[in-house]
Structure 1
Amino acid sequence: MMKIIILYNQVLSNNPDQVDVINQRDLVKKACENLNYEVISLAVGNNLLADIEAIKKENSTIVFNLVEETFGKGELIYFAPALLNALKIPYTGVPLDALFITTNKVLAKKLMRYNELPTADFYAIDEIVKLNPAKTYIAKPIWEEASVGITEDYIFNISETTKVKTIQQLSNSHYFIEEFIDGREINISMLATNNKVEVLPPAEIIFSEYFNNKPKIVGYEAKWDENSEEYKQTNRFFGTLENNLTLKEKLISICEHTWKAFNLKGYARVDFRVDKNDNIFILEINGNPCISPDSGFVAALKNAGYNEEIMIKRIIEDSN
């Protein structure tokens, strides 16, 4: 019998983006049990090395890696798989190199440019003098995931002197500036299959009229705060590209190219912006995206006609 250890990080707060890892753990556990796998759940905390070494004693077949942060820091997400990799313990999801690169948004954008993948222009905080007065920009965290730190307060034009002064105070090593693409937001999930990748049905985030006089972004409130207007006024829909198959095929092709260029495995998601002229821009690449029951990934999975057991089995089969 296959023995699976579900590895996840200790939850250090009641913030919904952090508590969500428990929902993911429970989904994976139930799916593994339905697949007749032996399954154990282990949390990693402050004594990371000891926690990882404890895994070796379990003689598991594979570790299902759900660790999203280390010591409460999302930018240290790669610590656990780094130790698993060093100890030669098989684990699921994107490999160490891909996880590090995709977590660092600036490094990821440089690799996108190298591989001729479309992404918006970007600058360091101290390069603000290079910005085009005719364009709008957004300051974003380099490392954080799950829309942490994404806020309309950081969307600006260089004529907005008060905002510019605020942006200039941000850490050059923790934030960067990206051209703000005002357009459609499309999320496309990918799932491994037979050493290849299957691109799941594209989902579009539809912004209601509430955003007519506001920047259309999926910030932290829109993603996590169910009581906020931002959350209520952003909704996910499938099938919105069926009247533009050329655009849909381009997006799928870019996803397949991204999977290869970034050495992705298991499962991933690419977030796009598409402007009014159908120009495509990759916002970011998410290795090991959220797979809680109400996540965008699981929604795409269900839209493709698959269940959680198929997802978990295919992720495990494409392990490192």
Structure 2
Amino acid sequence: MKKNVAIIMGGYSTEYDISIKSGSVVYQYLDRNSYNPYKVIIAKEAWYVLLDNGQKVEIDKGDFSAFIHGEKIKFEVVFNAIHGTPGEDGYMQAYLEMLGIPQTACDFYQAALTFNKRDLLSVLKAYGIRSAESVYLNEGDPIDADAILAKVGLPCFVKANRAGSSMGTSKIYKKEELDQALANAFAEDDQVLIEAFLDGTEVSVGVITYKGKTKVLPITEIVPHGDWFDYKAKYEGGSTEYTPARIPQEMTDKISALAQKAYEVLGMKGFSRSEFIIVDGNPFMLEMNTTPGLTEQSLLPQQAAEAGIPLAELFDNALTEALKK
């Protein structure tokens, strides 16, 4: 019996368009012999099923169903392809758990924790996973630029604490640039993380639950064409990526072990993609993404392909694991 799958995409953040691309790729590759997939757009103004003819059918938020061609469609599983809020920060996970509908991403607590860069890195520090020196600010806090820069140095990164795709992130070189960088970050989130610049090799590693077990995917080395791995580098061809990464086997093993450790100690499931900077032989974690990009060009699908897992199998496995719950 084929399962009705809601592929949720869109969301409430500036990552809306990127999420639509990811969700559309999932829709394209899902096996129609096993699933009846539906594109479900989650937007601030409405939640709706987008049919192939362009028709929009409103979602009943009471039980997450829709009337399509006179028939009430109830979704047996949700494929979460939302980047940012409310799909990557725990809100959709909590809502679906309340309704008893399984979904492919991690659970709501893990989503909320990993979406908050400061809290994630603080928790993982207790497990020996290093991160950059940092300063945390809430909107409205007094700002002592001299004290901040004395701690993190220059250049440094000013980041929206709860955002992805480098939204609200700036790299600054002078004290005079701090105010504008903070304004950019606070436009995205009311919490900001200011981090020391780590001059090293940037790598990304996917960890997934695959056939019931934790699987670490091949590592990708990221070489931005510009100054750093910003939005343009991520989505507009502004970087060169090497999968597997051009790093020694010893370092590959070390980073793979750290990524797996983070995944398991946090009680993760589904997809994750962790970012590290290697400085003087030591990996420092930057962040963990729990609904990473899923287009053919995205990092995690690249890594899965290197591991011999094509997109159709990657997506099918995610749904199979979700339905076990």
* Corresponding residue for residue 229 of structure 2: 218
* Corresponding residue for residue 256 of structure 2: 252
What code does the residue aligned with 1:315 have? A
Q: Decide whether aligned partners of structure 1 residues 283 and 52 sit closer, same or farther in structure 2, where only a CA change above 3 A counts.
A: farther
3-state secondary structure, aligned to 2:79: strand
Matched length: 296
Distance 1:7 1:263 in 2: 24
Q: Structure with the greater relative contact order (CA < 8 A, sep ≥ 6): 1 or 2?
A: 1
3-state secondary structure, aligned to 1:268: strand
Offset of residue 265 of structure 1: 0.8
1:118 has 2:130 as partner? yes
* Corresponding residue for residue 235 of structure 1: 240
Indicate the larger mover: 278-287 or 173-182: 173-182
* Corresponding residue for residue 278 of structure 1: 281
Map 1:178-197; keep pairs closer than 5 Å: 178-197=195-214
The structure in which a higher percent of residues are strand is 2
The structure in which a higher percent of residues are helix is 1
What code does the residue aligned with 2:270 have? G
The correspondence for 2:30, drawn from 29, 32, 40, is: 32
The correspondence for 1:60, drawn from 59, 72, 75, is: 75
Q: Decide whether aligned partners of structure 1 residues 32 and 180 sit closer, same or farther in structure 2, where only a CA change above 3 A counts.
A: same
Offset of residue 110 of structure 1: 1.2
1:291 has 2:294 as partner? yes
Offset of residue 109 of structure 1: 1.3
* Corresponding residue for residue 19 of structure 2: 21
What code does the residue aligned with 1:250 have? K
Q: Decide whether aligned partners of structure 1 residues 117 and 134 sit closer, same or farther in structure 2, where only a CA change above 3 A counts.
A: closer
The correspondence for 1:78, drawn from 57, 77, 90, is: 90
Structure 1 length as normaliser, TM-score?
0.82
Instruction: Work out the percentage of aligned pairs sharing the same amino acid.
Output: 19
Offset of residue 224 of structure 1: 2.5
Offset of residue 96 of structure 1: 0.8
Q: What's the CA shift string for 1:222-258, capped at 9, x where partnerless?
A: 22335xxxx1xx200123345x111110000001101
3-state secondary structure, aligned to 1:43: strand
Where structure 1 has 5 or more consecutive residues not aligned to the other structure, the ranges are none
Distance 1:149 1:116 in 2: 28
What code does the residue aligned with 1:53 have? D
User: Is 1:98–1:262's contact at 8 Å kept on the other side of the alignment?
Assistant: yes
* Corresponding residue for residue 104 of structure 1: 116
What code does the residue aligned with 2:235 have? W
Structure 2 length as normaliser, TM-score?
0.81
Distance 2:76 2:180 in 1: 50
What code does the residue aligned with 1:121 have? E
Q: Decide whether aligned partners of structure 1 residues 141 and 88 sit closer, same or farther in structure 2, where only a CA change above 3 A counts.
A: same
Where structure 2 has 5 or more consecutive residues not aligned to the other structure, the ranges are 48-58, 67-71, 138-142
Offset of residue 283 of structure 1: 0.7
Give the aligned CA root-mean-square deviation in angstroms.
2.8
Distance 2:80 2:107 in 1: 10
What code does the residue aligned with 2:204 have? N
What code does the residue aligned with 2:110 have? A
3-state secondary structure, aligned to 2:128: coil
Q: Decide whether aligned partners of structure 1 residues 176 and 20 sit closer, same or farther in structure 2, where only a CA change above 3 A counts.
A: closer
Q: Decide whether aligned partners of structure 1 residues 252 and 12 sit closer, same or farther in structure 2, where only a CA change above 3 A counts.
A: closer
The correspondence for 1:314, drawn from 304, 314, 317, is: 317
What code does the residue aligned with 1:236 have? E
What code does the residue aligned with 2:229 have? V
Distance 1:163 1:44 in 2: 36
Distance 1:248 1:150 in 2: 28
User: Is 1:143–1:174's contact at 8 Å kept on the other side of the alignment?
Assistant: yes
